[in-house]
A and B are shown apart, each in its own frame.
Chain A
Amino acid sequence: TQLLEQSPQFLSIQEGENLTVYCNSSSVFSSLQWYRQEPGEGPVLLVTVVTGGEVKKLKRLTFQFGDARKDSSLHITAAQPGDTGLYLCAGPPPGGGADGLTFGKGTHLIIQP
């Protein structure tokens, strides 16, 4: 059972369009992180959300943590080809434990010029 479910799995849109990708769980997380991974590279942290209901903005990217801390979303406004990549959400295992971050399977995003 995947603790963090990401949707959609794949998304291909035109430059200039808006999009939202989701990270959902049936468990409560103390925090969630979003990473972006470009082809041939390792994931790079974009943001960490900690407080239920929190909204963080990073230029054209808006991240929201659900009130119940079970889900998060990433909204991109006016997508650009440079936004292409694999977007991963991750969080520490609910209830603690020594297994490090658990990752979702990711959303593959392609922005076509």
Chain B
Amino acid sequence: NAGVTQTPKFQVLKTGQSMTLQCAQDMNHNSMYWYRQDPGMGLRLIYYSASEGTTDKGEVPNGYNVSRLNKREFSLRLESAAPSQTSVYFCASSEDWGSGELFFGEGSRLTVL
């Protein structure tokens, strides 16, 4: 019973490098989300996909892009990483937009040097 799976769990990048965080859920959920978690800042929404085929900006979208590849998969791309993007990234899903419970992955810890 995997739930929400994120890869990679850890990544170190140099400033200016690009990378993609992958996320997949096996619960047949319609909505998926990317959050970042920073000390003293809490969880902040980067992008979300209310349903397959749609994506929208959240609170802190600058420097990121997303792709809802299909109903299961939602990826987050950093085109040119900056030290300010050092964070722990969480993918989450919910049955429907606004339906309540979020199911989170285990997180991806990204360090940008």
A interface, CB within 8 angstroms of B? 2, 31, 33, 35, 40-45, 48, 88, 90, 92, 98-101, 103-106
Contacts and interface: CB of A to CB of B under 8 A. Distances in A.
Interface string B34-45: 000000111111
B1 to A, nearest CB: 14
28 contacts: A31-B100, A33-B100, A33-B101, A41-B107, A42-B90, A42-B92, A42-B104, A42-B105, A42-B106, A43-B43, A43-B90, A43-B102, A43-B104, A45-B102, A48-B100, A90-B102, A92-B98, A98-B50, A99-B58, A100-B33, A100-B48, A100-B58, A101-B102, A103-B43, A104-B42, A105-B40, A105-B42, A106-B42
A104 to B, nearest CB: 6
Contacts of A35: 102
A64 B18 CA distance: 45
A40 B107 contact: yes
Contacts of B26: none
Interface of B: 4, 33, 40-45, 48, 50, 56, 58-59, 90, 92, 97-98, 100-107
A92 B31 CA distance: 15
Contacts of B100: 31, 33, 48
A100 B45 contact: yes
B22 to A, nearest CB: 15
Closest 4 CB pairs of A and B: A42-B104, A105-B42, A103-B43, A45-B101
A110 to B, nearest CB: 16
Given A40-B107, A41-B107, A105-B40, A99 B102 contact: no
Nearest to A48: B100
